[in-house]
C-alpha cells in the first residue's frame, strides 16, 4: 500500500481515504482509476515498506498468528517443498535487516511466517517473494478451478444465456469492465505496465501469453504454478 493516495493533484492520507465514499462522487470513477493506475505500487516483499497507517494491522496479524500457533517460515517452506533458508542474510538478501532479525530471533528457524513474508527478498522484477508466491498463488487459483462454472461441462453458451452472453464472457477484460462504468475517455486499465523501459520483462508474477478467447479452465491449469 502507498503512504498516501494522489487523485487529480490532491493528496489523501489514510484517515481521509478509508471508508470515504464521497471521493467517488467528488472525483468520479474515471479519475480514480486513472490516478491509481499512474501511482506506482510498492513491493510487498523486501521489508521496510509498510506504511505507518497500517503498522497496527501488521502488529495484530503477528499477534493473531501467535495465538493460532502458526509454525515458522522455514517450517512452511519445508511443507511446500521449498528449500529452508539457511541464514538471515539468505532470507533478506542483504545485511542490515538480517542483523536486526538475528538480534530479535536468534535462529533462522524461529522467524515467524508473517514477518518472514514481508522481509523475504523479492524475486527479480517482482512484487512478491518466493514463499508467498509458491504458497498462495496455486491454492487461490484452485479455489477458482473448484467452481463448477470452470468445468468443461459448464463452459458453453447455454450456461450464460446463449451466444450473446457467452461472447461477452469470452471477450471480457479489465479495460472493458472499467470503460463500461465511466463517462468520457476510458483511462488506461491493465494488469501489467506497458512499455516498461530499462527493466527486464518479469514473468514470475504475470503471464505474457496470448489468452484471447482461451478457455479459462485451460488457462488456470497452465498458469497455476507460474502465478
Q: Which domain holds residue 85?
A: 52-121
Number of domains in the chain: 3
Same-domain status, 23 and 65: no
Same-domain status, 214 and 139: yes
Give the pLDDT band (50/70/90) at residue 176: confident
Same-domain status, 114 and 155: no
Same-domain status, 12 and 94: no
Q: Decide if pLDDT at 87 tops 80.
A: yes
How many whole angstroms separate alpha carbon 119 and alpha carbon 22?
35
Of 58, 49, 65, 52, give the one whose Cα is nearest residue 97: 49
How many whole angstroms separate alpha carbon 227 and alpha carbon 225?
6
Of 120, 143, 146, give the one whose Cα is nearest residue 131: 120
Query: Whole-prediction pTM value?
Result: 0.66
The residue ranking higher by pLDDT, 96 or 211, is 96
Does residue 187 fall inside a structural domain? yes
Give the pLDDT band (50/70/90) at residue 195: low
- Per-residue pLDDT, averaged over 119-141, amounts to 87
Does residue 43 fall inside a structural domain? no
Amino acid at each position: 500500500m502507498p503512504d498516501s493516495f494522489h487523485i487529480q493533484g490532491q493528496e489523501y492520507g489514510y484517515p481521509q481515504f478509508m471508508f470515504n465514499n464521497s471521493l467517488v462522487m467528488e472525483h468520479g470513477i474515471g479519475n480514480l482509476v486513472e490516478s491509481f493506475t499512474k501511482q506506482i505500487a510498492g513491493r510487498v516483499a523486501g521489508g521496510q515498506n509498510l506504511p505507518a497507517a497500517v503498522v497496527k494491522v501488521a502488529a495484530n496479524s503477528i499477534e493473531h498468528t501467535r495465538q493460532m500457533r502458526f509454525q515458522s517460515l522455514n517450517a512452511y517452506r519445508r511443507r511446500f517443498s521449498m528449500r529452508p533458508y539457511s541464514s538471515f542474510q539468505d532470507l533478506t538478501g542483504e545485511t542490515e535487516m538480517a542483523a536486526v532479525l538475528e538480534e530479535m530471533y536468534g535462529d533462522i528457524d524461529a522467524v515467524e511466517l508473517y514477518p518472514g513474508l514481508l522481509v523475504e527478498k523479492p524475486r527479480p522484477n517482482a512484487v512478491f517473494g518466493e514463499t508467498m508466491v509458491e504458497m498462495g498463488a496455486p491454492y487461490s487459483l484452485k479455489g477458482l478451478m473448484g467452481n463448477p462454472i470452470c468445468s468443461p461441462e459448464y463452459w458453453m453458451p447455454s450456461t450464460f444465456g446463449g451466444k450473446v452472453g457467452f461472447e461477452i464472457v469470452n471477450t471480457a477484460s479489465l479495460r472493458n469492465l472499467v470503460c463500461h462504468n465511466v463517462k468520457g475517455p476510458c483511462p488506461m486499465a491493465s494488469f501489467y505496465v506497458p512499455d516498461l523501459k530499462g527493466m527486464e520483462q518479469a514473468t514470475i508474477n504475470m503471464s505474457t501469453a496470448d489468452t484471447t478467447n482461451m478457455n479459462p479452465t485451460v488457462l488456470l491449469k497452465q498458469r497455476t504454478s507460474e502465478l
